[in-house]
Structure 1
Amino acid sequence: MARAVALLVSLLAFSNAVHCAFSPTLIMDMAKVLMDNYCTPSKLAGMEDAIETASSNTEILSIQDPNTLAGVLTDGVQNTIYDPRVKVTYEPDYVPAVPPPMPEIPPEQLAAVVKATVNVDVLEDNIAYLKIQHIIGEEMAQKIGPLLLEHVWSKVLPTSAMVLDLRYAVSGELSGIPYIVSYYTDAEPLIHIDSVYDRPSDSTTELWSMPTLLGQRYGSSKPLIILTSKNTVGVAEDVAYSLKNLKRATIVGENTAGGSVKIDKIKVGETDFYVSVPVAKSTNPISGKSWEVTGVAPDVEVNAEDALDAATEIIKLRAGIPATVKAAASLVSENYAFESIGEDVGQKLEALADSGEYKMISSRKELEEKLTADLAKLSADKCLKVRDNSPMMLPSDISPEMLIELIKVSFQTDVFENNIGYLRFDMFGEFNQIPVVAQIIVEQVWNKVVDTDAMIIDLRNNAGGSINPIAGFSSYFFDADKEIVLDKLYDRPSGTTKDLVTLSELTGRRYGSKKSLLILTSGATAGAAEEFVYIMKNHGRAMIIGETTSGSCQPPKPFPVGDTSIILAIPTTHSDTAQGIAWEGAGIAPHIPVPAEAALDTAKGILNKHFSGQK
């Protein structure tokens, strides 16, 4: 009530002149028009009390110019109920428009009118293009239906996809909403499309899809793109919003105008002022919301002039998506490290493609994100995904000086009290110049810690990397007198198992098997780092301190998906043990569980206590 009173008081503040230019009841009459007709009465709470308060004011309106007064009244109403659709105008010559009855036009002339007002074309790749500027009602559609079928619908019906252009649609009839929506849905089951509340009659009309139509339906399976602009208004907005919420169409273009399903221009009392009032309100049964005022937001936002090109690109993308998803499913079935899981994931992913789960995809990025999400959900393996980048390799022409600096920043070393070595690195690298790199690492890193009496290897931030250095790195912590099988790796594509063994020859000196080795882990320790931790723990060579590792996977291999540029990362190898899964998906539990941030102090404390006991 306070807001409504404030509106009338602010408007009546102009009533100070001594000459009566307009009816003193103008504001109260205008308010009554709103009270009786505005589509959302809850926003007018307290208006009746405000009218009664204002009616006792005998001041006359002071603004002399009627158009200025109309502007002031418009601003006052819009700022009070926050609805830009409500407008006050001064129109002494206004004559309400009455739609003329449809004249009896010869069929050939009517056909020419239909051709001129509805733009229809068949674009490249069998894409229909249908441009509509006015959405006709059911009654009119029935009258000119045969002509529409002959000159418009017969051309687009055989196409494989459609672009419905509503960028210039500025008018329409309410009964046309279910009529046009029904052509893009199935006959059964009937669909509740919209509910429209009419304020003057205080009644709600439910709009449902139609069980029978003139001619064939376009159906619910072929791609449908609707083009919109900031000028798309009214009934066309309702059509776009309905088909969007039914997930039948993708909206491409600009946010629509935010109009109304019905706006009446109502005379204010006996004056020449009129109020344009939205008298009906649309509420979508799926979203529970309305497109009015805010407009219909596009699924793919582009400038209106670029919308058609964007739409055709989306349709072309969608045409290849089923084959792409099925190609991905086959790759997983044939190559995923765990055979039974891979086959199950492949079958379920293919079923998703057949079910239409991917039919509303609008960009390659969206396709990659959904494919990754579905693979993770079906496999419970976060490593099985669309690869977002290529593994980094050092350029072959890198200078020795640059290589030394890179290695220096990639490794961190220290020697603590009691001659305890500390080595941290956050990635197992893949190098082109293996002998050269190995020699530099020995000289710049390894030699700083190899002569310590115990070592702490910090892998808390090691995200994995290449599996290739694992055998060599592990070998430094075993003796050279015998070959040790570190792990057995099963390779799914070849169906073979390979022994991962210690190397007999290494660059630099070994640390050996006798000195204490502690490894720090966290929930971020992943991939190749987990394989190293697993080997050291499984062979009793190291004490693990920290948190359970990530439960990631052996480094996945890249697979191109079909003829696309999409690359699928598939784990093809797993640690082969008699007990089944070793660490993939489960992680490696530490011997001494502590928060990651406390792991280093815990390890130093254990070793310091050990060495102090020896003294």
Structure 2
Amino acid sequence: MTILTKLQPAPVIDETARLLTEHYVFPEIAEQLTGLLQRRLAQGAYDVDDAEELARLVTTDLQSVNGDRHLSLKHHTDPVPPKQGAANLAAVRREFDSSLGGAPRVALLDGGVAVLELAPMLFPLEWAAEPLSAALTLAARAQALIVDLRANRGGDPDTVAFVCSYLLDERTHLNTMYWRAGERSEQSWSLPHVPGARFGGSKPLYVLSSDSTFSAAEELAYDLQQLGRAVVVGERTRGGAHPREGWTVHPHLEASIPVGRAINPVSGTNWEGTGVHPDIPCTAADSLDRAHALALARLNDLPVAAV
């Protein structure tokens, strides 16, 4: 594949259309989208000189058929290498190093209730296992736990399973991922053993959500909610359930294309387009206080109405 330094919309659109056809998890939608992109190109809709503007225009069209928020043409200010998946890696690593490995806050609130913030991402497990294990082990002795996902925009499904393993008592089927490549499916399970100590599967557990919570962070909330393990408190999440891969189609542009879809073993579906609906709806700003009050009521056997 030839990557041109100067912005020429036609090669970018052609390559994006080819990648859609080969990789998008929904082949029928891919066919509709490739036709749409080519028509828009022929109409002159993409005749712009700015890569960021082209990304915005193409992303709007890519999401116009089924609203898939993982499907986009992403603009990168700094040039990115042509290797598949490399566009975000350096930036993600910088975020990992500046966020204590994705666990920037562990605190003990009144009444023996711990709060663990996981943000800004659930980083690749080969990076994140050590800091997450330390944070989850530290929180394991709390009487109740609040997991704060309000500022988490996604990440690695394997890391979702790793976190869930500390919040359950036994190996549990969490999710099944259907992959376009090879028309295959792959089950995700919690781990039978974890480094450090488990919080376990019986003490009160709450998950905070916002309208910014996305992708793998939504899976974490959804899996725990569907298992009846956690109470989700806050706002409905963004609604992105399709794992994606990235391909560089220009030095500043990356085609982000979902290559799989999640199927929850309890619900038989996922949170795509609908988001995770909180069990206790409230604003994201109020959700920590609300979850803390719920936890204290539960620990003291008070009726929920007294919260």
Range class of TM-score, shorter chain: 0.7 to 0.9
Q: What does residue 284 of structure 1 align with?
A: 264
Query: Partner of 2:122 in structure 1?
Result: 135
* Corresponding residue number in structure 1 for 2:165: 182
Tell me the distance in 1 between the aligned counterparts of 2:32 and 2:46: 26
Written as runs of structure 1 = structure 2, the 5 A alignment for 1:289-304 is 289-304=269-284
SS in 2 for 1:35: helix
The TM-score with structure 2 as length reference comes to: 0.78
Name the counterpart of 1:549. Answer: none
Which string of whole-angstrom CA distances, capped at 9 and with x for unpartnered residues, describes residues 190-210 of structure 1? 311011223345432210121
Q: Which residue of 2 aligns with 1:317?
A: 297
1:285 shift after superposition:
1.1
Structure 2 CA distance for aligned equivalents of residues 137 and 26 of structure 1: 29
CA deviation string 1:336-366 (max 9, x = no partner): xxxxxxxxxxxxxxxxxxxxxxxxxxx33xx
Q: Runs of 5+ in structure 1 lacking a partner? A: 1-20, 103-109, 325-362, 365-563, 565-615
Q: Percent identity, aligned pairs only?
A: 26
Question: Hey, what's the Cα distance between the residues in 2 that align with 1:24 and 1:113?
Answer: 39
**Number of the residue aligned with 2:65:** 80
Query: Which residue matches 1:471?
Result: none
Residue 144 of structure 1: how far off its partner (Å):
5.0
Select 1:252's aligned residue among 195, 212, 233: 233
User: Distance in 2 between the 1:305 and 1:45 partners?
Assistant: 42
Matches within 5 A, 1:200-279: 200=181, 202-260=183-241, 262-268=243-249, 273-279=253-259
Residue 132 of structure 1, CA deviation: 1.2
Question: In structure 2, what is the equivalent of residue 428 of structure 1?
Answer: none
**Root mean square deviation, CA, Å:** 3.5
Tell which has more relative contact order, 1 or 2 (C-alpha 8 A, sep 6+).
2
Distance in 2 (alpha carbons) for counterparts of 1:62 and 1:288: 40
Q: Which amino acid aligns with 1:208?
A: W
Distance 2:246 2:26 in 1: 17
Cα distance in 1, alignment partners of residues 198 and 79 from structure 2: 46
2:209, 2:252 → 1: CA distance? 36
Corresponding residue number in structure 2 for 1:510: none
Query: Is structure 2 residue 108 aligned with structure 1 residue 122?
Result: yes
How far apart are 1:66 and its partner, in Å? 3.8
Describe the superposition over 1:138-161 as per-residue Cα deviations: whole angstroms up to 9, x where unpaired.
43355457xx43xx3454222211
Distance 1:292 1:263 in 2: 13
Matched residue, 1:197: 178
Check the 8 A contact 2:153/2:212 in 1, yes or no. yes
Superposition pairs of residues 36-75 of structure 1, within 5 angstroms: 36-44=22-30, 50=35, 61=44, 63-67=46-50, 68-75=53-60
Change (3 A) 1:235 1:40: same
1:42 is displaced (CA, Å) by: 4.1
Matched, 1:167 2:154: no
Greater Cα radius of gyration, structure 1 or 2 = 1
- The structural deviation recorded for 1:28 is 4.2
In 2, Cα distance between the equivalents of 1:113 and 1:42? 40
SS of the residue aligned with 1:310?
A: helix
* Change beyond 3 A, Cα 1:61–1:254: same
CA shift for structure 1 position 186: 1.1
Distance (whole Å) between structure 2 residues aligned to residue 62 and residue 211 of structure 1 = 53
Partners of 1:264 and 1:36 in 2: how far apart? Answer: 12
DSSP-derived class of the 1:227 partner: strand
TM-score by length of 1: 0.41
CA-CA distance at 1:69 after TM superposition: 4.4
**How far 1:315 sits from its partner (Å)?**
1.4
Gapped regions of structure 2 (runs ≥ 5): 1-6, 82-86
Q: Secondary structure at the match of 1:135?
A: coil
2: CA distance between counterparts of 1:60 and 1:303? 43
After superposition, the Cα gap between the structure-2 partners of 1:27 and 1:156, relative to the gap in structure 1 and judged at 3 Å, is: closer
Inter-CA distance 128–143: structure 2 relative to 1 (3 Å threshold):
closer
Instruction: Map 1:591-610 to 2 at 5 A.
Output: none
- 2:9 and 2:47 in contact (8 A); partners too: no
Aligned counterparts, 1:1-40, within 5 A: 22=8, 24=10, 27-40=13-26
Residues in 2 aligned to 1:209 and 1:202: alpha-carbon distance in whole angstroms: 24
Alpha carbons 2:101, 2:128 under 8 Å: kept: no
